[in-house]
Structure 1
Amino acid sequence: MLTFSLRSLLAHKLRLALTVAAVTLGVAFVSGSFVLSDTMGKAFDQLFGGLAKGTDVIVRAHSTDPDAQARGQTRPLDQSVVDTVRRVPGVAAAEGSVTGYALILDKAGKPIQPGGAPTLGGSMHADRSLASEFTFRAGRAPAAPTEVALDAGTAKKAGYRVGDRVKVVFEHGTDEFTVVGIVGFGDTDSLAGATMASFETRTAQKLLGKTGKVDQVDVRAADGVSAVQLRDRIARALPAGAEAVTSEQVVGESSRSIRDGLGMFTKVLLAFAGVSLLVGSFVIWNTFSVLVAQRRREVALLRAVGATRRQVLGGLIIEAGIIGLVSAGLGLAAGIGLAAGLRTMLDAVGMEVPTTSPVIAARTVIVALLIGVVVTVVAAVVPALAATRVAPVEALREATPAASGRIGTARRLLGAGLLTAGTAGLVAAAVVKNQGGLTALSALVAFTGLVTAGPLLARAIAWAADRGRPGGWRMAARNIGRAPQRAAATALALTIGLAVVCAVSVTAASTKASVAEAVNGGNRSDLILRPAAAMGTGGISPAVADILRGRDDLAAVMEVRFSHAKVNGASTNVAGVETGTLDRVMNLGLASGSLAGFRDGTLLLSTKQAQALGAKVGDTVTLTFPETGAKTFTVAATFERDSLVGAGYVLTLRDYASNVTSRLDAAILVKYAAGADQAATKADVTKALAAYPNVKVEDQAEFVKDQQAHVDQMLGLVTALLLLAVIVAVLGIINTLVLSVVERTRELGLLRAVGATRRQVRAMVRRESVLMALLGALAGVTLGTGAGVALARSLADQGISSLSVPVSALLGYVVVAALVGVLAAVGPARRASRVDVLKAITVD
C-alpha cells in the first residue's frame, strides 16, 4: 500500500503541488512566528547582557511593581547613595546614571520619531569598563555641558557627524549641542530603535530635571568578590527605599519583560496562522473527497483483489501523511524566510531589532511537523473512511458514478438548527452588550452551522443562478448543484478569511464612530495638542503649557498626564488634570458628586471602576504607585465618559506630580477666548510653538480624523495578515476546479463534440468559479457582519459606544471575491478548453 500511495501521489503532480501549497503557507506562518519571536528574544538577551557587561551590581529604588522599571517609572535616588556605595568594601568602581526624555531634532528642525520606541537622554559613565558594550563608532565621550553623543542609528538616519550642531527637546525646553561622539551598542546601532542622546553625568542631571539625583548606581566588584557577596554587602549599607540587585537579575527582568511583550506579539501572529490552517484543512478535506469520488473504481479493484478496508484506509492516510510531512518541511523552511520578512517590516516602521542569527528551536521544528501532518491527516480522515465503504462490485462498472448531490435530512435539520442558534446568540450578544464569551461561542456555532448546511446554500445559489440565465450560467449552476458538498467546502474556505475581515471592519468602523462621538459629545476644547510621534507616544514639555497660558486669545489651557498604578493588585491607567479648567474643556458626564469637591487628596472615579470596586462618592480608594507606594484618595465624583479622558482614575495635577516623576504632558486641551478668530488663533498658536516641532496642534475635526486614521491603519494590518488565508482559499478554488476538470473530462469532450467552442467551455468554468467565490463571500460577509456587530457591542466597556456597519466596504468584499473567482479559474478554464475531443469521449 505504501508503494501504491506513492505512485498515486506522483501520478497527479499538479494536484499534489496545490494541496501541499495550501498546508505549507499555514505551517510557514506558524513556524515564522516562532522563529521571529525566538530570534528577537535571543537578540535582546544578548543586547541586555552586553549592556550590563562590566557591571556586577545595580542599586536602584525599590518598587512594588516589577514592570515599572521596563516602563521607565523609577524613583530617583539621592546622589549621596553613590558615595555610600563606593565606601562598601569590595567595590572597585561605582557611578550613578540618569535617564529621561530627550527628543532629537534633525537638521531641518523636525523631530526624529522612532516607530513607538522611546526618545531617550542619559548620562555616560566616565569609567568605560562599567559599560563595555557601549562603544564609540566615531569621536569621544562628552565632557562639557555643550557636548552630546548620539546613537549610531539616529546619526545615520539624520546624517549627523562629529562636529555638527544638533537641537534636543527636553521637559524644560530646547537646547543646542555639538556632536562629539557617535555610539553603538555592541553590533547594534540603537536600543531597539530608540533614539539616545548621551551627556556627561552632571549635564544630564540638569537637563533631565534630576540635579543631585541618580536613577541607579552601576557597580563593579573588586577581584575575588562575587556579585552576590557584593550585593549583600551593599544592601546592608543602603538607606530605606533603595535596593541592591545583581546585574544578572536586572538582565533577566529586562529580558522577561521583552519576552512577555513578544509573547503577545507571537500569539497574535499564531491566531492568524490558525485561520490560514483552518482554511487549508478545508482545502485538504475537499481534495481528498474529490479524489475518493474519482477513484471509486480504483479502490473497488483493490478491494476485489483482496485489499481490506483497513488497508484502503491506511493507504489514503499514508498519502495524507506524506503530503503533511512534505508541507511541514517546506513550511518550516518558508517560515525562516517569512520571519526575515516580518523583521524587515518592523525595521521599516522604525522598530529596529538587534541583529543575530535566526533561532530555530526544537519546539519550532516539532510544532511545524506536528501541525503539517496532523492537520492534513485529520482533514483526510472522513473522505478516507468513505473510501473504505466502496464495494468490490463497483470495479465491474464501465464508468465511475457521478458524485452524489444528495443531502441527508439529519444534516439539513442540524445545519438549520446550528445556524438558528448561532444567529440568536449573536443577536442576544448585540442587544445585551459586554458579552464577549457569548459572541465567540455564537460565532463558532454559526460557522459550524454554515459548514453543516453549506451544501444547502450551494444548492440555493445554484438554483438562483439557474433561473432564467443563459446556457453558460445554467450549466455552471447545475455543475455546482450536482456536487453541492464539494462546492460548499471550497466556498467555506474563503468564508473563514472574509468573516474575520468583515468582523474586524465592523469593529473598526464602530471604533471610529465612537471616537467621533466621544470628542464631539464630551470635548469642549477648541484645540488639542499632543505628541506628533506614532500613535501619540512620547510626551510634551510642560513649558508648552506655560507658553500658552500667557496668551490673551486663549481662555483655558489644561494639561493632561497619564501613568500607571495598581488597584487591588491590578495595573490601571491614572490621569492627572488641572482642576480649575477641567469643566471648561471637558464634559466627563458626571454620574454622582460634583467637580466642586475635586481637590488635592480626592479623585474622580469612572462608573465602570466604581461598580467594580463597589465604591461611591465619599469612599476611599488606594492607588499603589511604582515610585511612591500606596496612597489613599477620597472619591469626589463618578463619571461616565472614561474613554474621553483615557483613564478610570483622575487625580489633580499636584497629586499626580507628587507620585509620578515624569512631568511630560500626554495632551494639552485649549479653549479659545470669547470673540477670538479661530483660524487665526490656531495659526498663531502653531507659530508660537515653532521651537517644539514634536507638538501637533489640531482642532476637533483634525483630531478625530487622525485617530480614525490610526484605526484604518490597524485594519489594514489585520487585512494584510489575513491575506495569506485568502491566498490559501484561492488555491482551494483552483484545486477544486482542476480536479473537477479531470473528473469531467468525458463530459467536456462531449460538449466540444456537439459544438461547444473553447471560449464557451472556458466561460462555463469561470462562471462555476465565480458562483463558488460568491457563495463564500456572501456567507463570510453575513457571518462576519453579525459577529462584528456583536463584538462591537461586547466592547462597550472598552469605549466603543457607537455601532457602525461599513456597507460600502462589505459590498466591496463581495465584488473582490467575484474577481478572485474569475482569476482563480484562469488556469483550470484553459485546461478544460484544451481537452482532446477524441480522447475525452473514450474516458471512463
Structure 2
Amino acid sequence: MSAVWRASRAAVKRRRLQTFVIGLVVLCSTTTILLGLGLLTAASAPFDKAFAQQRGAHTVASFDLAKASSAELAQTARRPGVAAASGPFGQAVLEMPKDWLWMSAGSLTVVGRAEPDGPVDRIHLLEGRWATAPGEIVVNWPVAGTPGPGRLGTQLKARGAPTLTVVGFATSMSKSAGAWVSPEQMAALHPAAAQMLYRFTDASTEGQLRTDLTTATAELPAGSLTTAQSYLTLKRTFSAQVDAYLPFMTLFGVLGLLVSILIVGNVVSGAVVSGYRHIGVLKSLGFTPNQVVAVYLTMVFVPAVIGCALGTLIGNAVVGPILWVAFSGVETGSASIAISWWPSVLCLVGIPALVVLAALIPAVRAHRLSAAQAITAGSAPRTGRGLRIQRRLSGTRLPRAVSLGLGQPFARPGRSLLTMAAIVLGVTTVTLTTGLTSTMVAYGNAGKGDGAVRIDVQAGSPTKGGTAPKLNDRQIEARLRSLPGADQVTARALTKVSLARSTQTVFANFYRGDSQDLASEIVKGHWPTGAGEAVAGPAFLNQYGLSVGDQITIQLNGRQAPVTIVGELMEGNARALDSNWQTLTRLDPTTDAAEYTVRLAHGADVQSYIKAVKAAGPALRSAPRRSDSTATTTVVSFASVFTVLLTVVAALGVFNTVLLNIRERRRDLGMLKSIGMTPRQVMVMTVSSVAVLGLVGGLLGIPLGIAAHRLVVDHVGVISFPESMKQVWHLPQLAALVLAGVTIAILGALIPARSAARLTIATVLHNE
C-alpha cells in the first residue's frame, strides 16, 4: 500500500494545476449544494423537532360550554384514533390595552391550566414560574430567547377583568394560548369556552386531521365545537417566510448538482485519459491493474476531500446569515434555527464518492490495457471526423486558425458535449439571476415610483418629562397635514383580532386617510373602500385557505364583524390582514391610530419637516422611511453568489477541456508551428475551438433560464408578483445573454491557450 500512496502523492505533485482544478470544482459544488440543502431542511426540521419535544397538539379545539359539559369533553379523549389528550381547560378572551409588555393591543386568549406539563402540549417555561394562585398570569413569549430582565411582576389590566401579575414567560409550539392562569383564576373569569388538546394516531394530512376530530367529537351535541386549529397550519406559518426563498434555492441547488456532475465527471475523466501514459509506466514497473486503479483514484480523491471539506466550512458559514434573514420576525417559539447536521455529512461523504465514481469508469477501462497500449493511448495522432470537418472549413473564407479551431470539438464529441452542457447550465444560471434581479428590483421599488420621500411618525410615545401627549388622534393627523411640505397622510391602527373558527389571534391593520400608495400594492381585486372589506397577502390567504371574494369573521372587544376579502396584496405578513377605518369603527370606535405615514411634496425639505413634527408634539417621533428591501437584497445577493460559483465551475470545465486537448495535440501544435503558425494564431485557434461551444450553449441556456425564472416567481409563497414584474426580458438584454456562454468559454480557455501559444517546437520534440 505504501507504493500506491507514494505513486499517488507523486502524481498529485506532478499535476498541481489539474489537482487544483479538481479541488476548486469540488469546493464550489459543495458550497452550492450545502447552501441549498441546508436552507431546505431549516424550513421544517426545527419546527418538527421542537414540536415533538413538547408533545405538541395535532389539533387545538375549543368548545362552547353552554352546549357541551366538561365531563362530555373529557370523554372525547377515549374515542378511536385519539392517541393522547389534555383538557378540558377553561378558556377566555381578554381585551388588552395598548402597549402591554410592548405587544400590540387587542384580543388575548387565556387558558386555565394547573401545570405546564401533560400528555399533550408540554409548555416550555422560559423565565419565572408557573401561575398557581389567583391574580397570576404566565404570558406566551413567541420569539426566540427570553423577554429580558425587568418584565416579571408587570401588572396587566384587561378590560373588564381583574389585575393580573406576570409571574412567568413560556412558549408553546402548539400556540394553544396567548397566556395561562391557574384554574381558580380562570373560574373567576367565568369562561364560556373550554379547550381540548389532541394527538391522533394518524395526523399526516389536513383531511386526516378533520376526520380524526370528527370521530373524536361525534358524540358531542351539535354545534359544540367552535374552533379547531391544525398543527399543519402552524407549520406552514413557521416556514411561510423561508418558503419564499425555497423555490430559487432549490432550483439553484439542482443546477449546482447538475453542473457538479458534469464538470467533476469531465475533469476527472479527462485527467484519467491524459494519464494513460503514466498508467502504462506504472504497469511496466510491476504495478498490478488493481494497484494502478487505486493510484489514480487516490490521486483524485485527495483534492476532492480537501475541496469538499473547505466547501462545507464555507457553506456552513454563509448559511447562518441567510437563515437569520429568512426567519426574522417569525414566531419560532422554542425551535432552534440552525442548519441540520446531515447536509454536511451528505456532502462530505457523497461528493468525494461522486468524484471517485467519475474516475472509476475510465480508470477501469485503462485497467484492461497492456503497458504498451496504455503508454501510446494518449499520444497517438488522431484522425476522423474532426480532421474531415477541418478540411471542409479550410475551403471557406474563414482564417485558417479559426477553421482549424472550429473543427476541434468534433474530434472529441463526448468531451465537447459535456463541456457544452456545463456552459448551458452556466448560461441558464446567469439568465435566471438576471431575471430575478430585475423582478426583485421592481418589487423593491413598488409604490416608490413617484420618487417622493415618506416619513413615519409614531404617536403616543412617552416624553422625557413623562407628560402625556397633548394632541389626540384626529388632531395629530390634522397637524401633520398642515405642516409645510406635507402632501398625503395615512393613519394606521394596529391591533390583534380573533378569527372565527380559529384559536389563533392575528394582527389587523386599519388605515385612514390617503391610501394611494397602499392601493398600488394590490395585484388582484381592489383596496378596501367600504366597511367590512379587507385585503391580505398570499401567505395569509394560503395559510387559511382563502381567496379573493371569501368571507371571514373577526372579533375584537366582544364584537364581531363579517369581513370580505376584496383584494390580494403583493406581499403581506402570514399573520396579518389590512382593512379600513370603517371596519374598525364597527369593532371598537375608541381605538386610536398609533402610526402615521406622511408623503412629502416634491422638493420638500426632509429635516425641516422632521423638526416641525417634533415641535408640534413632544410625544411624536418621526424618521424617514428606509427605501431598502431586505427580501430584494437577500434574493439578489444569494442568486449572485450562486451565479458566481456556478459560472466559475463552468469556466473550469472549459479550462480542463482545453488543457486536455492541448496535451493530446502537442505533436500537432509542434507541426503547425514548424510550418509557420504564430503564437497569436495558436491562441485564436484554441479560443475558437470553445467559442462555438459557448455560442451554442448560450442559445440553449437562455430559454431554459427564462423558463426557470418563470417557475421561481410563480411559486414564491409570500409574494404575488404582478405580470409587469415577470415580463423583464428585452431584446438588448437577451442579446447580451447570448454572449454569456461565449464569455464563459473564452474565460476558461485563455490560460491554456496562452500556454499553447508559448509552447516551443523544441519542447514538443523533446517530449516525443
TM bin (shorter chain)? 0.5 to 0.7
Alignment correspondent of 1:420: none
Alignment correspondent of 1:159: none
What CA distance in whole angstroms lies between the structure 1 residues aligned with 2:649 and 2:385?
26
Letter in 1 for 2:751: G
Map 1:193-342 → 2, pairs under 5 A: 216-218=166-168, 234-235=182-183, 237-238=185-186, 239=189, 240=191, 272-291=252-271, 293-294=273-274, 319-320=296-297, 323-324=300-301, 326-340=303-317
8 A contact 1:476–1:765 mirrored in 2: yes
Deviation at 1:798, TM superposition (A): 1.8
What CA distance in whole angstroms lies between the structure 2 residues aligned with 1:464 and 1:515?
51
Letter in 2 for 1:621: Q
Alignment correspondent of 2:674: 753
Deviation at 1:480, TM superposition (A): 2.5
8 A contact 1:500–1:784 mirrored in 2: yes
Deviation at 1:501, TM superposition (A): 3.1
8 A contact 1:288–1:384 mirrored in 2: no
Deviation at 1:499, TM superposition (A): 1.0
Whether 1:505 and 2:430 are equivalent positions in the alignment is no
Q: 1:263 to 1:604 in 2, by over 3 A?
A: closer
How many residues align? The count is: 626
Whether 1:776 and 2:706 are equivalent positions in the alignment is no
Whether 1:549 and 2:478 are equivalent positions in the alignment is yes
Alignment correspondent of 2:722: 800
Map 1:682-697 → 2, pairs under 5 A: 688-689=612-613, 695-696=623-624
Q: 1:215 to 1:236 in 2, by over 3 A?
A: closer
What CA distance in whole angstroms lies between the structure 2 residues aligned with 1:592 and 1:267?
26
What CA distance in whole angstroms lies between the structure 1 residues aligned with 2:23 and 2:316?
20
Alignment correspondent of 2:27: 24
What CA distance in whole angstroms lies between the structure 1 residues aligned with 2:584 and 2:182?
32
Map Cα deviations across residues 669-723 of structure 1 (whole Å, 9 max, x no partner). Answer: 76x9xxxx8655989766644586654369xxxxxxx579974763244112321
Map Cα deviations across residues 195-251 of structure 1 (whole Å, 9 max, x no partner). Answer: xxxxxx57xx89x9999977953189xxxxxxxxxx999455445599999xxxxxx
What CA distance in whole angstroms lies between the structure 1 residues aligned with 2:415 and 2:355?
17
3-state SS in 1 of match to 2:382: coil
Whether 1:124 and 2:46 are equivalent positions in the alignment is no
Deviation at 1:746, TM superposition (A): 0.9
What CA distance in whole angstroms lies between the structure 2 residues aligned with 1:514 and 1:219?
39
8 A contact 2:40–2:246 mirrored in 1: yes
Deviation at 1:25, TM superposition (A): 2.5
8 A contact 2:28–2:645 mirrored in 1: yes
Letter in 2 for 1:275: L
8 A contact 1:300–1:392 mirrored in 2: yes
Identity level (%): 15
Task: Name the structure where helix makes up a greater proportion of residues.
Answer: 1
8 A contact 2:694–2:741 mirrored in 1: yes
Alignment correspondent of 2:764: 840
Q: 1:463 to 1:569 in 2, by over 3 A?
A: farther
What CA distance in whole angstroms lies between the structure 2 residues aligned with 1:299 and 1:211?
87
Whether 1:470 and 2:447 are equivalent positions in the alignment is no
Whether 1:400 and 2:373 are equivalent positions in the alignment is no
Letter in 2 for 1:651: S
What CA distance in whole angstroms lies between the structure 2 residues aligned with 1:307 and 1:338?
40
Alignment correspondent of 1:643: 570
Letter in 1 for 2:425: I
Alignment correspondent of 1:831: 755
8 A contact 2:268–2:355 mirrored in 1: no
8 A contact 1:749–1:840 mirrored in 2: yes
Whether 1:372 and 2:293 are equivalent positions in the alignment is no
3-state SS in 2 of match to 1:798: coil
Alignment correspondent of 2:709: 788
Q: 1:839 to 1:292 in 2, by over 3 A?
A: same
Letter in 1 for 2:432: A
Alignment correspondent of 1:489: 418
What CA distance in whole angstroms lies between the structure 1 residues aligned with 2:705 and 2:310?
33
8 A contact 2:491–2:593 mirrored in 1: no
What CA distance in whole angstroms lies between the structure 1 residues aligned with 2:380 and 2:357?
26
Map 1:440-839 → 2, pairs under 5 A: 468-510=397-439, 547-550=476-479, 551=481, 557-560=489-492, 576-578=509-511, 586=519, 598-599=530-531, 601=532, 603=534, 621-622=551-552, 633-635=562-564, 638-639=566-567, 642-643=569-570, 650-653=578-581, 655=583, 668=597, 679=603, 688-689=612-613, 695-696=623-624, 706=627, 711=632, 714-789=635-710, 798-802=720-724, 803-815=727-739, 818-839=742-763
Letter in 1 for 2:309: L
Q: 1:292 to 1:603 in 2, by over 3 A?
A: closer
Letter in 2 for 1:363: W
Deviation at 1:748, TM superposition (A): 1.4
Alignment correspondent of 2:342: 363
Q: 1:645 to 1:90 in 2, by over 3 A?
A: closer
Q: TM-score, normalised by structure 1?
A: 0.54
Deviates more, 1:649-658 or 1:471-480: 649-658
What CA distance in whole angstroms lies between the structure 2 residues aligned with 1:591 and 1:346?
31
Q: 1:768 to 1:687 in 2, by over 3 A?
A: farther
What CA distance in whole angstroms lies between the structure 1 residues aligned with 2:285 and 2:251?
47
Letter in 1 for 2:722: I
Deviation at 1:342, TM superposition (A): 5.8
What CA distance in whole angstroms lies between the structure 2 residues aligned with 1:325 and 1:28?
18
Deviation at 1:22, TM superposition (A): 0.9
Letter in 2 for 1:497: G
What CA distance in whole angstroms lies between the structure 2 residues aligned with 1:260 and 1:604?
18
What CA distance in whole angstroms lies between the structure 2 residues aligned with 1:383 and 1:265?
39
8 A contact 2:29–2:260 mirrored in 1: yes
For structure 1, the residue ranges without an aligned partner over 5 or more in a row are 50-58, 101-116, 128-200, 221-230, 246-253, 353-357, 407-458, 533-540, 699-705
Q: 1:260 to 1:605 in 2, by over 3 A?
A: closer
Q: CA RMSD in A?
A: 6.9
What CA distance in whole angstroms lies between the structure 1 residues aligned with 2:151 and 2:266?
65
Deviation at 1:386, TM superposition (A): 6.5
Deviation at 1:646, TM superposition (A): 8.6
Deviation at 1:805, TM superposition (A): 0.9
Q: 1:687 to 1:496 in 2, by over 3 A?
A: farther
Alignment correspondent of 2:229: none
Deviation at 1:374, TM superposition (A): 3.5
What CA distance in whole angstroms lies between the structure 2 residues aligned with 1:255 and 1:18?
43
8 A contact 1:466–1:473 mirrored in 2: no
Q: 1:668 to 1:395 in 2, by over 3 A?
A: closer
Q: 1:403 to 1:476 in 2, by over 3 A?
A: same
8 A contact 1:276–1:728 mirrored in 2: no
Q: 1:405 to 1:301 in 2, by over 3 A?
A: farther
Deviation at 1:468, TM superposition (A): 3.3
Map Cα deviations across residues 339-390 of structure 1 (whole Å, 9 max, x no partner). Answer: 34665799999999xxxxx999863553123321343245456656776897
Letter in 2 for 1:838: A
What CA distance in whole angstroms lies between the structure 1 residues aligned with 2:376 and 2:609?
88
Deviation at 1:302, TM superposition (A): 10
Deviates more, 1:559-568 or 1:469-478: 559-568
Alignment correspondent of 2:213: none
Deviation at 1:749, TM superposition (A): 1.5
